[in-house]
Structure 1
Amino acid sequence: MDWSKTGEFLGAAVLIAALFLFPKWFSFRSRAIAGAALFPIGWAGIFSGLALGDQRFMQAEIVAWIWLGVSGTAIILGFTLLVPVFLEWRRVHHPPKRRNKN
């Protein structure tokens, strides 16, 4: 196994661990603010990378991979933070319906 495969497996393991552990470290408000900031920043990075594709510095493969990696990580972290916030908000503000017992 070469270093690129090792990096891919390590990156996947970090993202899976972040999906389960990262949201529990922050409060509800911190998760909402960070997720709401990271998600659009990540997409702005993706679209600006596409717009800057013809620039000389973006034609270097390592720069393009780093740009895409940082932007993709921001999107994934934003999503990882916003989904638990939504589920927690839904659970708190919309309690389950009560059934009449006969």
Structure 2
Amino acid sequence: MALKINELCVNCDVCEPACPNSAITQGETVYVIDPALCTECVGHFDEPQCVMVCPVECIDSDPEHPESEPQLLAKLLRLQGDHPDTTPPEANP
């Protein structure tokens, strides 16, 4: 499932550069996560990097975008289709 930044966000700017998919951008009042780009770091890291770096713990699962780990990995592979020079570690022989 994609992640969502809640209203506790203090706009500290640490989550945006931590996202390997560039899914996080500055919203009108707080940072927002694009569910079409969020893979919860599946294929990149063991844990979502935005959650790891967030000092106020304001990043939750987004119940409006439920996805399983295989679905998140498939999304990552689709996203990487736009960037052929990147390959997930599992795909390397």
* TM score, norm. by length of structure 2: 0.24
Q: Which has the larger radius of gyration?
A: 1
TM-score (norm 1): 0.22
Q: Whose helix proportion is higher, 1 or 2?
A: 1
The structure whose residues are more often strand, as a share, is 2
